[in-house]
Structure 1
């Protein structure tokens, strides 16, 4: 999720990276959500890990800031309670393709909670998958489910990844059952 104030910088190339609290797993691309929409798909060139205290001006400039102090102030506003010894992921982007899609596009047009409810009824799931999908269905929000399950919004990406996975599984399941 990217604050709407940074979307123009991302699309113009001024913002060539993003710094996120914690360890973010590297994917080939990142789907950028902002304001309830998918606004871009970015190629991921690299993911590096540092402690907040180790961030430097180069990291700040990649993320569209003038200097490291400005970056750290922004991180402290966004992640209340972040400490200098916390690990952050620096996700470096290559090409960025602007798109304008509804947030539910990746879920076959279903809202996340609708997809979760369908998956709970139709798929064989692990206990953890069932627990996560049940939270999405109950709270009708990926954000609220992340807070209830993990204590913060930072794990939304993992929940979205699971939702995309079950959407693909359901798509195959529905195609095979209609034959």
Structure 2
């Protein structure tokens, strides 16, 4: 009886040890296997940026498996972060607006100029001539759409262009993610996330 119990315990320990080793090997392969994928060359990373945005790449550095690029466009200077393997653009941040005056949204209509002829103005704003909405402005617009308390702000890019994701906690305990267009400031979507658990 005792010998039988000892044998069962030994078999159990051996099986558990093998299972633990397999799990460790699988975790190591998953973590380090990604690092073995070849990184894009600087030329390939630059082409990935220029295929998405018109402009000139002024600098490109590899940092912790990702490329960080500075891009000069008609709208201004941007910092982009790219996945070092796929070239996917992970984030874009406006560093400096272009020197030329851009069409800025105003809080009130401007009065008509006095003295007859209107000053020379640029034509109606096009997407290329508009300035990027700042993070603070995106938060303000999101809070107008969904009142509450700011939790977090992220940036992203899709086929429609750059956008902000503003996470807001509402007074009733829900969380909303408001997607704000980074060029126009328009609210693109509002997604409501269900609470993890309901407190009773």
Q: TM-score range by the shorter chain?
A: under 0.3
TM-score w.r.t. structure 2 length? 0.23
TM-score w.r.t. structure 1 length? 0.25
Bigger proportion of residues as strand = 2
* Higher RCO by CA contacts (8 Å cutoff, separation 6 or greater): 1
Q: Which one has the largest radius of gyration?
A: 2
Bigger proportion of residues as helix = 1
